[in-house]
């Protein structure tokens, strides 16, 4: 811990070493907190209202958002703030993605006609595009899988 504090770059030194363009973009980056918080509120409400109706297991926020980097003594205050913001933003997006993936599995578990980069983990189990014969059965199976993920009770 002592060595970590010794390795910390003082805030003034950190700022002096930053390019002006980087400093000037900070308000743009941090303005993103507003839509992130609104997204967080909406997705929380959406999940609380809709998932019980669809019999989909709740996605715990804490499994996706972690605030632990503030404990790193080698980071200065601004670096800790940056890490806090990035942890929240990336965790929120990952959490939202899982909620959207479960929603897609419930409502429209059909693969797209073309290959996509960065598909979610549930996508591979979806029904192939154009497979009308398999769609209804696949939809029932995938919804049953979602329901099976719910905790008993």
Could you tell me the two tokens for 59? 């996605």
Average pLDDT, 10 consecutive residues per value, the chain (153 residues): 80 86 94 98 99 98 95 92 97 99 99 97 98 98 97 79
pTM of the model: 0.89
Range list of β-strands (E), 2-153: none
84 exposure class (CB count in 10 Å sphere: 0-12, 13-18, 19+): middle
Cα–Cα distance list, 44 to 39, 47, 96, 153 (Å):
8, 5, 9, 21
Cα–Cα distance measured from residue 115 to residue 149, given in angstroms and rounded to the nearest whole number: 28
Q: What is the pLDDT of residue 153?
A: 67
Could you tell me the two tokens for 92? 């929120």
CA 100 to chain centre: 10
């Amino acid at each position: 811990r002592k060595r970590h504090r010794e390795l910390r770059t003082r805030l003034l030194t950190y700022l002096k070493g930053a390019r002006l363009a980087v400093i000037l973009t900070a308000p743009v980056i941090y303005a993103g907190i507003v839509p992130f918080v609104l997204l967080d509120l909406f997705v929380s409400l959406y999940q609380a209202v809709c998932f019980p109706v669809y019999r989909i297991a709740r996605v715990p926020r804490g499994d996706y958002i972690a605030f632990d980097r503030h404990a790193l003594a080698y980071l200065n205050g601004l670096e800790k703030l940056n890490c806090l913001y990035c942890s929240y933003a990336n965790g929120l997006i990952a959490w939202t993605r899982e909620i959207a993936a479960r929603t897609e599995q419930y409502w429209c578990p059909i693969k797209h006609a073309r290959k996509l980069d960065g598909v979610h983990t549930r996508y591979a189990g979806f029904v192939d595009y154009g497979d009308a014969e398999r769609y209804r059965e696949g939809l029932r199976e995938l919804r049953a899988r979602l329901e099976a993920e719910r905790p008993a009770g």
